[in-house]
Structure 1
Amino acid sequence: MATLGNPLASVPISSNPTILTANNEQKSNPSTVPILIDKCANKKHLKQLHAHMLRTGLFFDPPSATKLFTACALSSPSSLDYACKVFDQIPRPNLYTWNTLIRAFASSPKPIQGLLVFIQMLHESQRFPNSYTFPFVIKAATEVSSLLAGQAIHGMVMKASFGSDLFISNSLIHFYSSLGDLDSAYLVFSKIVEKDIVSWNSMISGFVQGGSPEEALQLFKRMKMENARPNRVTMVGVLSACAKRIDLEFGRWACDYIERNGIDINLILSNAMLDMYVKCGSLEDARRLFDKMEEKDIVSWTTMIDGYAKVGDYDAARRVFDVMPREDITAWNALISSYQQNGKPKEALAIFRELQLNKNTKPNEVTLASTLAACAQLGAMDLGGWIHVYIKKQGIKLNFHITTSLIDMYSKCGHLEKALEVFYSVERRDVFVWSAMIAGLAMHGHGRAAIDLFSKMQETKVKPNAVTFTNLLCACSHSGLVDEGRLFFNQMRPVYGVVPGSKHYACMVDILGRAGCLEEAVELIEKMPIVPSASVWGALLGACRIYGNVELAEMACSRLLETDSNNHGAYVLLSNIYAKAGKWDCVSRLRQHMKVSGLEKEPGCSSIEVNGIIHEFLVGDNSHPLSTEIYSKLDETVARIKSTGYVSDESHLLQFVEEEYMKEHALNLHSEKLAIAYGLIRMEPSQPIRIVKNLRVCGDCHSVAKIISKLYNRDILLRDRYRFHHFSGGNCSCMDYW
């Protein structure tokens, strides 16, 4: 220990004559050690005192050694390694010393070491753990999320007859709740005879965090019946439960209860009240509370920003942002993510560009992930690529979140090779990184590759989740891999422990429906253990469009509308089916019903990025500055493709048009055709034309894009609502299976 060999110069804490120096070491005795330790201001001073105690023999006085060790272990996480060295020099550590080391590690960045020290203590110490040991080691098990370790410790607690210890029981409640085992947590809670406020609060918080807000509120009511007095921690849990249940009535009652009972309101409780009002949709209550709050922090401000954004009042959200006392990156993140998550990706990118001009605030990982998600929505690969370069230049480590966002952005912007490059550039991948890459392969129609990647995921022992299987089944659907889809679906619960949900059934119905197995799809729906969702019936309706099954389509549409009466997509799909069958009277009747009901078809919108700028086109759009040139190019394109024998597919019209010219003209106004024409005008021949459409591409536009890719020798990448189509040389990557 070279660091201990230096002479003890002095401990520069005060001018008190009892301070040790090299000349007065002999005056020290065990009674002075606590005083000297209290005077140590940092790790350097503790090391100097340690050296002094070794030279004078004070270290071999057990209380003195224990006092020094405790000071080292609990002073800061950075001193813990040194504390371990001190611990190793103690001849026979007492139980207090073992407990202190476990406690220090349990609260450190390396909580697993707390469990290892506990095991070491069991093997090396003559003493059995006491009531102080178990809460510390339970905390360590909580921090490493080890259910098995916690259960083993719980067993030891019971064998040692500590089951009635309140502090230990409260620790176990928190442990089980943190790991999502609410049944075990409640079992421990129910066996406590004399519950204290911590017991009630731990169980209420456990129910809230575990997704059982109703149980949390029921427990709160029982708490009041048993005359246990709630405190502000209790009420934070209650308000969080109300927010999760969107129960404004009980939330308002809880706020009144706080005021009536004089519960001390701090900033945390105020923010919980604010969050409840926002999540329950009462911006008026939230604003009144916000204006009354004497103290506000970044959470308060961002809660209001997020609340206004969620209800679509972006002007109010911006006003709150503009009057904040300081610009914090968390506020920028709230504004960007609110726009992005509420279908306003253009606005999200505008805020990000504004942030770039702000010299006082730098984007962090949350900013970049939200902005990448907005780029993915819009197909803005130039900005997404710039962010990727920025991440590299700033030396930002690719954590799981950023990696997933980059893979998703490149995949949805049509650059699958770049997505794969990011995927393979990282050494560690969690389930979301694997799932994002499987999704990327799926949306580009590489079903076999997605399955191969899933196999590699299994080799790395990463357990798939529900999202993984949704993406995997989508891959099977887009590639016509029916047998593989059946196999994965049937293996979900028995092999992987993932219970199939509504999305998985919808994917399976889609797989079967696209392959023409309509009877099997109907049979699967009839045997579903859960109520079929709108997406399940929508998948069946989509299959009926492919195969022209009018009778089954009418049934599927009816059931879909029972689930979601405002689903305009159901009417559009059924209209397409009627149009394909030539039943124009049925089409007219449907459109009249939509008009009377106030339902409007979502307008088709296609966007294309040129030189970093996103250009959007609606059906029949003439608002673009180059509109004249675009329509001129479109006329030229139509003339050229007609010379190849192309005939427009009129079944994609949603209304009966008598004049042949008007039929053709109506189809030519589709937004994806306008975007392609603009791409032909403004992009270099070597550049792929990348288009993003908000709806499913229609069959006529699909045929036209194939012909254009051959006539103009251009690669066209068109992403619709469900997947990518790569048009090249007159063919599409989907092989017309879509």
Structure 2
Amino acid sequence: METLGTRLLSLPRHPTSKTVNNDHDDPVLSRINQCTNLNQLKQIHAQMLRTGLFFNPYSASKLFAASALSPFSSLDYARKVFDQIPKPNLYTWNTLIRVYASGPEPLQGILIFLRMVDESPYYPNKFTFPFVIKAAAEIVSVCVGQALHGMVIKASLGADVFISNSLIHLYLSCGDLDSAYRVFMMIGEKDVVSWNSLITGLAQKGCAEKALELFRRMDAESVKPNDVTMVGVLSACTKKLDLEFGRWVCSYIERNGISVNLTLSNAMLDMYAKCGSLEDAKRLFDMMEEKDIVTWTTMLDGYAKLGEYEAARRVLDIMPRQDIAAWNALISGYEQNGKPKEALAIYHELKLSKIAKPDEITLVSTLSACAQLGAMDIGRGIHAYVKEQGIQLNCHLTTSLIDMYSKCGDVNKALEVFYSVERRDVFVWSAMIAGLAMHGHGRAAIDLFSRMQEATMKPNSVTFTNVLCACSHAGLVKEGKTFLNQMEPVYGIPPEVQHYSCMVDILGRAGRFEEAVEFIEKMPIVPSDSVWGALLGACQIHGNVELAEKACSRLLELDPGNHGAYVLLSNVYAKTGKWDSVSRLRKHMRVTGLKKEQGCSTIEVNGVVHEFLAGDNRHPLSKEIYSKLDEIVARLKSVGYVPKKSHLLQLIEEDDLQEHALKLHSEKLAIAFGLLYMEAPQPIRIIKNLRVCGDCHSVAKLVSRLYNREIILRDRYRFHHFGGGHCSCKDYW
């Protein structure tokens, strides 16, 4: 931390003893400064023990400081030296606390501090507190920090700016922004570090607007900012995605002659890239005389996040050094922009090239891509890689694995991962509840939520969304009402629009339309498009034309370009035989240029993901697939199958032979491909981007019985497990 390093420079030399006046009086002590390695220092240590020089507090502190702070320092050896000193002076205690506070074991720094208070004759001074406060910040312990703050006040050191700056950093690290601000306001003469600490901390903790307000105050009070200030301010601009103010900050830096080092240049570049101005980013990038791996990766990440994949790839190819952060930026860019196949292709290239080793971020992004595609074979391979490499399953990886297995159709494997780990945060619990919900295991999801309470894990907003979805898929109306009503009074979580949408969905799916409408009318917030969309979707299931028209009208008022609203209403009309209304809607969509999302189904066979669109003939094995499909339809008709033509308009818009059109739905093509190229008893797993239509649902049930094959189909909302002529949803979806 800057304040600690700066303060150390002013540490005074300790008072000399009667036997040793200064380093020059004793040749042994003067040689300590000339040591270049640990062995030389150990030889001096031995000599000091033989001559008794080691038992002088100042001499011992000199040796100890070299063992702890020199370029060749060894914490293990330094600790042994410290333990040999009969009466360590205050400088020695402070130095040991400092070393631990800055190292991998900050808790030890606090324990040494407690020993000093208990065993030594010294009370902590203005040099002690910044070090031990830093240790408390490192372990993110606000309780320890508050205790130390009390000791500072008791020692009448509350006015010390260096200690105050340390306390600001501590409180910000612990997320206590109010206490950090109070300490800041108590400082009589704030230095630039005081302002920097609070500005940077607020920006990092998501309070970007407050950070910018503080910078404006700093400027108004004529406190001259430095490069560290501007890095914090630019970070706040980036968090706010405020390109206009970010540009003003860059011009402010130039106008005020603030020294621009590599760190500040990278902060400006990051601001431009994340705020969406690739032109400004490219101009700055080309002007930068010095570039490091952060510079290159920032530029690559900017291109990738804005969908400029070719440019991102060019940056990766010309980088002087391709570290894993650069590969992660490209993989993440594809994955977050709905291009999971491309993300997996980059991951495979990384593995084959062996240029860099995949890390946790790589694996999380790649598992998310697998989840989107339903690529379980690849996901299993990543899980195996985690085990082979001995990578510890932290909560991020655990959540990603549970999400991948759940969305790829193997909820039992997701549960296995869930129960295999000892540490589960709220996101791990929430992911497992979501997995059970999407597979229709509503009761199991609610039971897991109860166990979450028993484990004293506090749920969050996402947890409740998942629990309410579980109630919706399982038709648990009473339970859904209970959970929604408990959110704020019991758990302190105010319901948000997604929770209200879930409740409307719960009531609507159950056919309780009067209740659903009354619920919407009494909502404490204005109903959003998702609320009306949930009601419209329920109207489609039950064929409620009048309410569907009302819901569609309200939805289009909020989102005029929502093609899905027209499609859902068209489906309601088709289901109830109102073909004139269907034609009118289709004509309106053609005139206004609205096009519905095209149905797409994917299926993974031997680690390769195959994609099918409705009526697709792009696949190299199309001839065999359509031949198999003809066989399937003929076999289904022999047992009485009749196509449900009322479902035609869910997936196509053009006039055609209705029966033929239904046969070409993407999930039917995927089922035919699975029967051809996946050997029994391997389940046929299909991922669909839209809600499965009633005809395809009926076909999948019959195929599962006639061909004795398990079919697992994920549509936009949930999973359907078909087997023996039945579906796990019990026709409630």
* Cα pair distance change 1:658/1:395, threshold 3 Å: closer
Q: CA RMSD in A?
A: 2.8
Is 1:507–1:539's contact at 8 Å kept on the other side of the alignment? yes
Deviations 1:628-661 (A, max 9, x none): 3222222222222233333333332339999999
* Structure 2: gaps of 5 or more residues: 1-22
Q: TM-score, normalised by structure 1?
A: 0.90
Deviations 1:558-609 (A, max 9, x none): 4433443333222222222232233333333333333343332110100111
Output the CA distance in 2 between the equivalents of 1:427 and 1:73. Answer: 36
Pick one of 617, 623, 626 that aligns with 1:622.
Answer: 617
Deviations 1:395-437 (A, max 9, x none): 3333333332222222221122322333333333333333322
71-80 or 135-144, which deviates more: 71-80
1:468-617 equivalent positions in 2, closer than 5 A: 468-617=463-612
Letter in 2 for 1:245: K
* Secondary structure of the corresponding residue to residue 193 of structure 1: coil
Aligned partner of 2:266 in structure 1 is 271
Pick one of 87, 104, 107 that aligns with 2:102.
Answer: 107
1:281 deviates by: 1.3
1:497 deviates by: 4.1
1:154-303 equivalent positions in 2, closer than 5 A: 154-303=149-298
Output the CA distance in 2 between the equivalents of 1:47 and 1:491. Answer: 66
Letter in 1 for 2:545: V
* Secondary structure of the corresponding residue to residue 725 of structure 1: strand
Is 1:550–1:577's contact at 8 Å kept on the other side of the alignment? yes
* Cα pair distance change 1:658/1:497, threshold 3 Å: closer
Aligned partner of 1:316 in structure 2 is 311
Aligned partner of 1:419 in structure 2 is 414
For this pair of structures, how many residues does the alignment match? 711
Output the CA distance in 2 between the equivalents of 1:276 and 1:470. Answer: 33
* Cα pair distance change 1:565/1:112, threshold 3 Å: farther
Deviations 1:9-49 (A, max 9, x none): xxxxxxxxxxxxxxxxxxx9984454233234444544444
1:623 deviates by: 1.8
Pick one of 717, 722, 726 that aligns with 1:731.
Answer: 726
Pick one of 702, 706, 714 that aligns with 1:707.
Answer: 702
Deviations 1:498-549 (A, max 9, x none): 4433333333333333233444444544454554443333223222322333
Is 2:307–2:333's contact at 8 Å kept on the other side of the alignment? no
1:671 deviates by: 0.8
Deviations 1:93-117 (A, max 9, x none): 4333333232222212122222333
Output the CA distance in 1 between the equivalents of 2:651 and 2:159. Answer: 78
Output the CA distance in 1 between the equivalents of 2:343 and 2:548. Answer: 39
Letter in 2 for 1:65: A
Output the CA distance in 1 between the equivalents of 2:35 and 2:515. Answer: 77
Is 1:197–1:228's contact at 8 Å kept on the other side of the alignment? yes
1:354 deviates by: 2.0
Letter in 1 for 2:287: K
1:361-510 equivalent positions in 2, closer than 5 A: 361-510=356-505
1:676 deviates by: 0.7
Output the CA distance in 2 between the equivalents of 1:525 and 1:44. Answer: 77
Aligned partner of 1:72 in structure 2 is 67
Pick one of 325, 331, 335 that aligns with 1:330.
Answer: 325
* Secondary structure of the corresponding residue to residue 74 of structure 2: helix
Letter in 2 for 1:182: L
Pick one of 299, 307, 311 that aligns with 1:304.
Answer: 299
* Cα pair distance change 1:289/1:651, threshold 3 Å: same
Pick one of 49, 52, 71 that aligns with 1:54.
Answer: 49
52-61 or 234-243, which deviates more: 52-61
Deviations 1:358-416 (A, max 9, x none): 14333333222222221121111222222222333333333333332222222221122
Letter in 2 for 1:477: S
* Cα pair distance change 1:588/1:186, threshold 3 Å: farther
1:2-21 equivalent positions in 2, closer than 5 A: none
Aligned partner of 1:7 in structure 2 is none
Pick one of 113, 118, 127 that aligns with 1:123.
Answer: 118
Letter in 1 for 2:359: N
Output the CA distance in 1 between the equivalents of 2:177 and 2:558. Answer: 32
Letter in 2 for 1:149: V
Aligned partner of 1:687 in structure 2 is 682
Deviations 1:43-64 (A, max 9, x none): 4544444444333322221112
Letter in 1 for 2:415: L
* Cα pair distance change 1:487/1:607, threshold 3 Å: same
* Secondary structure of the corresponding residue to residue 676 of structure 2: helix
Aligned partner of 1:138 in structure 2 is 133
Q: TM-score, normalised by structure 2?
A: 0.90
Output the CA distance in 2 between the equivalents of 1:200 and 1:611. Answer: 58
1:643-654 equivalent positions in 2, closer than 5 A: 643-654=638-649
* Structure 1: gaps of 5 or more residues: 1-27
Output the CA distance in 2 between the equivalents of 1:309 and 1:675. Answer: 31
Is 2:481–2:503's contact at 8 Å kept on the other side of the alignment? yes
Is 1:30–1:64's contact at 8 Å kept on the other side of the alignment? no
Pick one of 667, 675, 678 that aligns with 2:673.
Answer: 678
Pick one of 139, 144, 150 that aligns with 2:145.
Answer: 150
Is 2:323–2:355's contact at 8 Å kept on the other side of the alignment? no
Aligned partner of 1:22 in structure 2 is none
Output the CA distance in 2 between the equivalents of 1:35 and 1:532. Answer: 78
1:494 deviates by: 4.1
Deviations 1:269-326 (A, max 9, x none): 1111111111121111111111111122222222222222222222222222222223
Output the CA distance in 2 between the equivalents of 1:144 and 1:461. Answer: 22
Is 2:37–2:72's contact at 8 Å kept on the other side of the alignment? no
Letter in 1 for 2:212: L
* Cα pair distance change 1:471/1:659, threshold 3 Å: closer
Is 1:443–1:723's contact at 8 Å kept on the other side of the alignment? yes
Letter in 2 for 1:413: C
Aligned partner of 1:357 in structure 2 is 352
Letter in 2 for 1:261: N
Letter in 1 for 2:55: F
Letter in 1 for 2:63: L
Letter in 2 for 1:320: V
Is 1:482–1:512's contact at 8 Å kept on the other side of the alignment? yes
1:76 deviates by: 8.0
Aligned partner of 1:9 in structure 2 is none
Is 1:584–1:655's contact at 8 Å kept on the other side of the alignment? no
